[in-house]
Amino acid sequence: MTDKPKLAVIGLGYVGLPLAVEFGKTYEVVGFDVNEARIAALQAGHDATLEVSDAELAEATGLRYSSDADDLKAATIFIVTVPTPIDASKRPDLTPLIRASETVGAALKRGDIVIYESTVYPGATEEDCVPVLERVSGLTFNTDFFCGYSPERINPGDKEHRLTTIKKVTAGSTPEVADIVDGLYASIVAAGTHKAPSIRVAEAAKVIENTQRDLNIALINELAIIFNKMGLDTEAVLQAAGTKWNFLPFRPGLVGGHCIGVDPYYLTHKAEAVGYHPQVILAGRRINDGMGAYVAGQLVRAMIKRAIPVRDARVLVMGLTFKENCPDLRNTRVVDVVAELADYGITVDVHDPWVDAGEAQHEYGISLRESPAQGGYDGIILAVAHEQFRAMGAEAIRGFGRGDHVFFDLKSVFAPAESDVRL
């Protein structure tokens, strides 16, 4: 390997683009994506995900964008950063990963290294991806070409914890390749690297990071349900408990996104494949997957108590993204709340200043309301704690409600007295 290898980053989403930009400040990089509209926008100097600023894009002088697979042939190191979703049955869907491997395989040459960053179950790189690379390229793994794994740790919307400030786990298919992969990432990640002893260890480390978070949130969600039945304010309980130094500061809520609501199913899939049926992990998933219906039910219950007719009522849901202050709609569970309310015969308006209206319509069939109607709603759910909603204040948000309405502060943004329902 040369001191300045030519890189190719396959997939320019929330993970791939920041990586390509950072490498592009030092190396010659081809950023590849099959989405031609995405490539055109990046060539014009703008990232619609808002993860990378226009100024940062301009700094990556070694980076060029392409949707032509032939442009990958000059690279010697390929980094795959495509999504790894689940299907309707909550089983791993490796289709994007397999297709990316086929694309890379067609460009693969002797001595090349393929590094995967996509979240997978332990063994997927060598058991699922490598055979594709071998089949398409006609080359032999660990003789003609090699592999590495360095799991992504991107946190969408987080301007403090960035690619360069988060320690990077690395691994390689041979000790020598592990050193090359580690050195490559160490050249751009100021926080340093951790070289795992094998690709499978690195894969497992990634998948349990988010499984652990999922279980912790599931515990708090279950506590919120219990405390609600007891008439206790969950946020007040958590604030009191949080005065102990080792109490973990998790909060209840909807669990979506590209990682926490998905990754545990990759681990449980592999566990069942080796003959073990996970119990705790799947129990946590059931709790978190059911929170959308629970939230909708709590709003309806509060409306009934106030003698507000439910059928043909009108409810405003504020926020559609899976987390605050970012436009990311992947696996957002706010859609569960919307669907459940619709099942009650309620008309639901959704407002989110961060979301592209076309994307919301394409992904979920939801038509966003640009300006909510003043005094037009029987119920209001503050579902995502965007900074714009915080700045509005509870009184202004209540202004969207009719004379008698229910305000559900799902994220406990405001003081208890300022809302009617909290999680």
Helices 280-289 and 291-305 sit at what angle, rounded to 10 degrees?
40
Strands (E), 291-409: 314-318, 347-351, 377-382, 401-409
In 306-399, alpha helices (H)? 334-343, 357-364, 387-392, 394-398
Q: Which of 197, 165, 166, 171 is nearest to 183 (CA)?
A: 171
Q: Which of 398, 400, 342 is nearest to 371 (CA)?
A: 400
What is the DSSP annotation of 36-65?
A: HHHHHHHHTT--TTSSS-HHHHHH-TTEEE
285-289 long-range CB contacts below 8 Å, 24 or more apart?
Answer: 285/214, 285/218, 287/218, 287/221, 287/222, 288/214, 288/217, 288/218, 288/221, 288/255, 288/261, 289/255, 289/261, 289/333
CA atoms within 13 A on the CB side of 376: 10
Tokens of 314: 């009108």
> At 114, is the secondary structure helix, strand, or coil?
strand
> At 397, is the secondary structure helix, strand, or coil?
helix
Q: Which of 215, 226, 382 is nearest to 299 (CA)?
A: 382
With beta carbons less than 8 A apart as the criterion, state whether 79 and 27 touch: no
Q: Which of 129, 147, 259, 326 is catalytic?
A: 259
Residue the block writes with tokens 């300006």: 371
Residue the block writes with tokens 């669907």: 339
- Its sign, for the CA torsion 375, 319, 251, 88, is positive
Length of the chain in residues, anyone?
423
**Annotation says 129 is catalytic:** no
Neighbours of 156 (CB within 10 A): 21
Residue the block writes with tokens 């590849």: 32
Residues noted as catalytic: 259
